Amino acid sequence: MGQQLQHLWHRYKSVLAYLFFGGLTTVVNYLVFWIFNMFCSYLIANTFAWFLSVLFAYVTNKLWVFDAKTPTVRARLKEATSFFGFRLLSYFVDQGIMIVGISFLHGNDLIVKLIDQVLIVVLNWFFSKLFIFKDRDV
């Protein structure tokens, strides 16, 4: 039984860690959105939430989810650029969901944001796993 659990842990470690830290990133995003949404438009609040949660996500993804080893400055720069570039892509998807959900469908800001974040976490996992934190020779 112990070996089976250990095997499952090693096999799904990155997915489980991503779900945990993705959940924390979602909490950061949601809380920042909630706070800023009280003082400015939902699009500006969403931009602040995106920026702060991406900073949090980069550190946690690099260190604890994908255990990315980047031995050179050039490799770290390439990795960070890739991470922020793909997150910028998901930012536009994020903003699009918010615009449709709030401005066109007249949904509640916080409910739309919650639904939005579930979709964005899945999208970002694929970007991170397939393109960003893969083994590099650089």
Q: Provide the whole-model pTM.
A: 0.76
Higher-pLDDT residue of 14 and 80 is 80
Neighbours of 117 (CB within 10 A): 22
Answer yes or no: is pLDDT of 54 > 70: yes
Do residues 70 and 80 touch, judged by C-beta distance below 8 A? no
Answer yes or no: is pLDDT of 127 > 80: no
Predicted local distance difference test score (pLDDT) of residue 68:
67
User: In which band, very low, low, confident or very high, does the pLDDT at 111 lie, cut at 50, 70 and 90?
Assistant: very high
Tens of pLDDT, residue by residue over 77-109, are 888 888 888 889 889 999 999 999 999 999 999
The pLDDT of 125-135, averaged and rounded, is 65
Those residues with Cβ within 8 angstroms of residue 47's Cβ, 6 or more apart along the chain or in another chain: 91, 95
Answer yes or no: is pLDDT of 125 > 90: no
95-102, Cβ contacts within 8 angstroms, sequence gap of 24 or more: 95/43, 95/46, 95/47, 98/42, 98/43, 98/46, 99/43, 102/42
